[in-house]
Structure 1
Amino acid sequence: MPNEANFLDITLLGKEYRVACPPDERAALLNAAAYVDGKMRDIAEKTKSNHAERIAVMAALNIAHEHLSGNQYVPAEDQKIESEIGLDIDAVRRRICHMETELEAVLKPAG
């Protein structure tokens, strides 16, 4: 493909997908794919279903509900970290986002 850099291969529930993605959005898309994959795996495990389309629809509905209601999904490994060391993962994520924004502003070339 001529614009290979504008595509990214992601894996959802064990199946690979090639999606269009600007180079500066790769990390965000990988994070989104990991989030969706986690939701899909949780649903597949809970429902004992192997119908990818049904799992994808349920994941989409759950993610939309979380977004619209303001509830945030916390992966099991994050819940374990939070309970073991008393760390608020959401607060850490917010702080990291804030630091990234500050770094981008400082590193952004003037002009």
Structure 2
Amino acid sequence: MNTGTGKPLDVTIMGREFRVSCSDEDREGLLQAVAYLNKKMREIRDSGKVLGSERITVMAALNITHELLKARSKEGFDTEEFRRRIDHMQAMLDAAMPEQDKLF
């Protein structure tokens, strides 16, 4: 994914629209990440144990981080590459979020 230099892509997470920029080569990976995050957030919401979109988001982040840490502990996993990709995704989200606030 590429911040600022990619093409705009509209994605929906938990019914909210977000516009992010993404290179053509990273588009499929971003769509997979969106689908995974959306699935995790809906599972948490549907469990009925957590209320509020902010809390659901934090719980999803914790669950996904836990999965990451478990995967990192396995041998043969390229943690540096994975960390670079996560940092890159975070930068893209940070760049997109101020624009989203203007929509609501």
TM over 0.5: yes
TM-score, length-normalised on structure 2? 0.59
Instruction: List alignment gaps of at least 5 residues for structure 1.
Output: 72-111
**What percent identity do the matched residue pairs reach?**
47
Establish whether residue 51 from structure 1 lines up as the match of residue 52 from structure 2: yes
Alignment-derived partner of residue 67 in structure 1: 68
Alignment-derived partner of residue 35 in structure 2: 34
Per-residue deviation, residues 41-92 of structure 1 (Å, max 9, x unmatched): 0000113544111111110110000010129xxxxxxxxxxxxxxxxxxxxx
Compared with structure 1, are the counterparts of its residues 10 and 50 closer, same or farther at alpha carbon in structure 2 (3 Å cutoff)? farther
1:80-95, aligned counterparts within 5 Å? none
TM-score, length-normalised on structure 1? 0.55
Question: Quick one: which amino acid aligns to residue 55 of structure 1?
Answer: I
Superposition CA RMSD, Å:
2.3
The structural deviation recorded for 1:22 is: 1.1
Alignment-derived partner of residue 10 in structure 2: 9
How many residues in Structure 1 have an aligned counterpart in Structure 2? 69
Q: How far apart in 2 are the matches of 1:12 and 1:50?
A: 16
Question: Quick one: which amino acid aligns to residue 30 of structure 1?
Answer: L
Alignment-derived partner of residue 22 in structure 1: 23
The structural deviation recorded for 1:7 is: 1.4
Compared with structure 1, are the counterparts of its residues 50 and 16 closer, same or farther at alpha carbon in structure 2 (3 Å cutoff)? farther
Query: Which one has the largest radius of gyration?
Result: 1
